[in-house]
Amino acid sequence: MTEDCIFCKIVAGKVGGPPLYQDDEMTAFKDINPQSPTHILIVTNQHLASLNEATEADQAVLGRLLLLAAKLAKDEGIAEQGYRLVINNGREAGQEVFHLHLHLMGGRKMRLMG
Ligand code: AMP
Ligand code: ZN
């Protein structure tokens, strides 16, 4: 756990309620400021600031993030109508929390850029 990282604190159960999903490698929880009816964040339990820090050792967990997103989309009932997965990587992309996370958004029609 990295001190002062809000997502590390959520993974450790020190902030927020019970996560939607958690296993040894990943945690999923609701975005505090949802941009769509379903807006879930999926994070690696291990602190990785961004994709820039990922290595081949992270290959499996990065793949599992996508599989978990698909599972949660099914659980939320939005798999068929469609959903969007977003990673904001770096400052100019709008990354605000520097702990790698995947946004799972759905439940409304998306435009190209939002
Ligand atoms: P990003 O801009 O890709 O770094 O996204 C960060 C996301 O984290 C934003 O959508 C925030 O609403 C969300 N967020 C920040 N703090 C919390 C928190 N304590 N619990 C849940 N979501 C959070
Ligand atoms: Zn962290």
Residue 47 annotated among the catalytic residues of the structure? no
Residue closest via CA to ligand 1's atom 15 equals 32
pTM for this predicted structure: 0.97
Atom in ligand 1 nearest the alpha carbon of residue 101: 3
> What is the pLDDT at residue 1?
72
Domain ranges for the chain, please list them. 6-95
31 pocket-lining for ligand 1 (C-beta < 6 Å): yes
94 pocket-lining for ligand 1 (C-beta < 6 Å): yes
CATH number of the domain located at residue range(s) 6-95 in this protein: 3.30.428.10
The upper half-sphere exposure of residue 30, i.e. CA atoms within 13 Å in the direction of its Cβ, equals 11
Please report, for residues 29, 54, 55, the alpha-carbon distance to residue 32 in angstroms, rounded to integers and kept in the order given: 9, 26, 29
Q: Tens place of pLDDT for every residue, the chain, 114 residues? A: 777 999 999 999 999 989 999 999 999 999 999 999 999 999 999 999 999 999 999 999 999 999 999 999 999 999 999 999 999 999 999 999 999 999 999 999 999 887
